[in-house]
Chains A and B, each alone.
Chain A
Amino acid sequence: MPSNDSANVSFARTFAAGIWNENPVLRLLLGMCPTLAVTAAVKPALTMGLSVIFVLFCSNIVVSLMRNMLKPHLRILMFTLTISTFVTIADLFLKAFAPVMSETLGPYVPLIIVNCIIICRAEACASKNTLAVSIVDALGMGAGFTLTLCVLAGIRELLATGKVFEIQVMPGAFVPWAAMGMPVGAFITLGLLLGAVNLITRKNP
């Protein structure tokens, strides 16, 4: 069926937009705080990425379902309430099944509530689009966010400890750059990464 085909193509495009063209971190500059804070190693970064995908997925579904009932002046409040409910669920889940990881991430799990990506997608996509589009958008954006986080964490963990995913990669003679694990490393790596992305997009617009 042609109409079904074109729908699939547009879904694929929405999903791909989240990963590159509208990548939340690298292009829209959203969700900077967790990006900088949890990327000292790949494992917490991945956990954070998955939690954000879960919250984004659920909140986009709920917001999309109630989009016709929203009053304009109360919508931000409704978004934050929806999001904080799902974040509480994610937080309790992590505390129960991954207590060590929950300890490492600390307050950055509840801080997903104020992660601009989620509220931005609720406002820009879910409150205007159908359920299916909102779900695909949430998955695409979440995947883009997680991917960026993992890349950044990979670079920082490699240079700070010589390991990736806690597996030794660098030869023994490698001197770890301790600064990469500190806030300095986070800011500068992200800055250079953004610069590199700008360079690539300028070459093939």
Chain B
Amino acid sequence: MDTLQILLMGFISVVIVNNLVFTKFLGICPYLGVSGRIDMAFGMGCAVTFVVTLSGTLTWLIDHLILMQFGLEVTRYVCFILVIAGAVQLVEMYIRKFFPALYDSFGIFLPLITTNCAILGLCLFVNLWGIDNLLEAVVLSVGAGIGFTLAICIMAGIRENLNLADVPVCLKGAPITLITAGILTLAFMGFAGMIR
């Protein structure tokens, strides 16, 4: 019961209260780049969720079973980025084989998941928060992915409507998206302090 409660709290915390996009500014590049249409945003969210779950789990295992055992913490960043690059390669091959249309519409943004800060950021945060339980690390990773999907889908929904709005010319594109994101952050700040 106690474990379940901790896991549930951790999950809600990382999805809503400590959402990586809104409170930690992680994953802003795809957040601004791919949030034009809601179906693409959702596809991107799913891909990121998969990669972040895989790499969050793997990096926790590598960190605890190999690096900490042998005192190799110095090579932590190099190992983490290798794991993430491998996971992204896997997703890329999978999508190209089974969803070629989606693959074409992603273009450059698919390999760029490697440089999505949300993923490396989560791996580092799991390490920083001192999570010493594999299950908790997995739940946090899934939560981070879902939180990212949530954020990018909300944004895509707003931007689809924003296309119809009369925005000042100099604010068109990225500037208005950033300002919208700011207001969205304000809304999510309402959850602050709810857990932890």
Contacts and interface: CB of A to CB of B under 8 A. Distances in A.
Interface of A: 29-30, 32-33, 36-37, 76-77, 80-81, 84-85, 87-88, 91-92, 106-107, 110-111, 113-116, 119, 179, 182-188, 190-192, 194-196, 198-199, 202
Nearest to B185: A183
Contact of B179 (A80, A182, A191, A199): A191
Given A76-B111, A184-B186, A84 B25 contact: no
Contact of B78 (A33, A84, A185, A199): A84
A13 B22 CA distance: 38
B178 to A, nearest CB: 3
A76 B186 contact: no
B114 A187 contact: no
A113 B77 contact: yes
Interface string B13-27: 000000000111111
Given A33-B117, A107-B125, A195-B175, A184 B185 contact: yes
Contacts of A183: 22-23, 25, 182, 185, 189
B81 A81 contact: yes
Contacts of B170: 195-196, 198-199, 202
B179 A192 contact: yes
Contacts of B186: 179, 184
A194 B26 CA distance: 19
Nearest to A91: B77
A111 B74 CA distance: 15
Q: Which 10 A-B pairs have the closest CB atoms?
A: A187-B182, A191-B178, A191-B179, A188-B182, A32-B28, A194-B175, A195-B175, A198-B170, A36-B25, A37-B25
B81 A36 contact: no
A179 to B, nearest CB: 8
A113 B185 contact: no
B24 A37 contact: yes
Given A76-B114, A107-B128, A191-B182, A113 B28 contact: no
Contact of B115 (A29, A119, A182): A119
B185 A187 contact: yes
A27 B128 CA distance: 33
Contacts of B75: 88
A115 B82 CA distance: 16
Given A36-B25, A199-B170, A107 B124 contact: yes
B77 A84 contact: yes
Given A88-B74, A88-B78, A111-B26, 17 more contacts: A29-B32, A32-B32, A33-B29, A33-B117, A77-B85, A88-B77, A114-B117, A114-B120, A183-B185, A183-B189, A184-B185, A187-B179, A187-B181, A191-B177, A194-B174, A195-B175, A198-B171
7 contacts: A77-B85, A80-B85, A114-B116, A119-B115, A187-B179, A187-B185, A188-B183
B43 interface: no
Contacts of B111: 76
B176 interface: yes
Nearest to A39: B25
A137 B185 CA distance: 35
B157 interface: no
A185 B120 CA distance: 25
Contacts of B176: 191
Interface in B144-195: 168-171, 174-179, 181-183, 185-186, 189
Given A77-B85, A113-B120, A85 B78 contact: yes
Given A187-B179, A191-B182, A194-B178, A80 B120 contact: no
Nearest to A185: B182
